[in-house]
Amino acid sequence: MAEEQTELEERIIIKDQHTKEIDLVNRDPKHINEDVVKVDFEDVIAEPVGTYSFDGVWKASYTTFTVSKYWCYRLLSAILGIPLAVIWGFIFALISFCHIWAVVPCIKSYLIEIQCVSRIYSLCIHTFCDPLFEALSKICSNIRVALRKEI
C-alpha cells in the first residue's frame, strides 16, 4: 500500500511539472526583464524647461503613447506569442538534447583519453626530468652565499 502511494505521488509530481499553475499577476517572478522593457512615456519623451507644448497636446501624447504601447504589445503577443513560444521551446529542447547526447559524452570521452596521456606524460617526466633535476640539485647543494656589509 505504501509503495502504491509513493508511485501515485511520483506520477502527480511528474504531471505537475508540465501542468503547474502559473501566476497571472506576477508574470516575471525572477525579474529577468526588470531593467530591459520598463519604458514609460517619461523615459522616452521629455520637454526641457522653456520649450513646453500645449498642455492638451502633452496629455494627449502621454495617453496615445501609453495606450498604443499597451495594445500593440497585446496584439503582437496574441499573434506571435504562441508561435515564438513553440520556436523557443524547440530551440531550448535542441540545446538540451545536444548537451545531453553530444557535449557531455564528448567531455567524458576526452577525460578518459587524457587520463591515459597524463600517465604517459608523468612516466616521461619521472624518467627523464627527475634524474636531471636531482643531479642539478646535488651540484648546486654545495654553493654557499655569504652577505657582507661593507662600510
Contact 70, 39 (CB under 8 A): no
What is the C-alpha radius of gyration for the chain, rounded to an integer number of angstroms? 35
In SS3 terms, 35-84 reads as: CCCCCCHHHHCCCCCCCCCCHHHHHHHHHHHHHHHHHHHHHHHHHHHHHH
pTM, rounded to two decimals? 0.56
Report mean pLDDT in 10-residue bins for the chain, 151 residues: 64 61 80 77 85 90 92 95 96 96 95 92 93 92 86 75
Q: Extract the C-alpha cell encoding 124.
A: 616521461
- What pLDDT does 6 receive? 67
Measure the CA–CA gap between 151 and 148, rounded to whole angstroms.
Answer: 10
Domain boundaries, the chain: 32-142
- What pLDDT does 72 receive? 94
- What pLDDT does 2 receive? 61
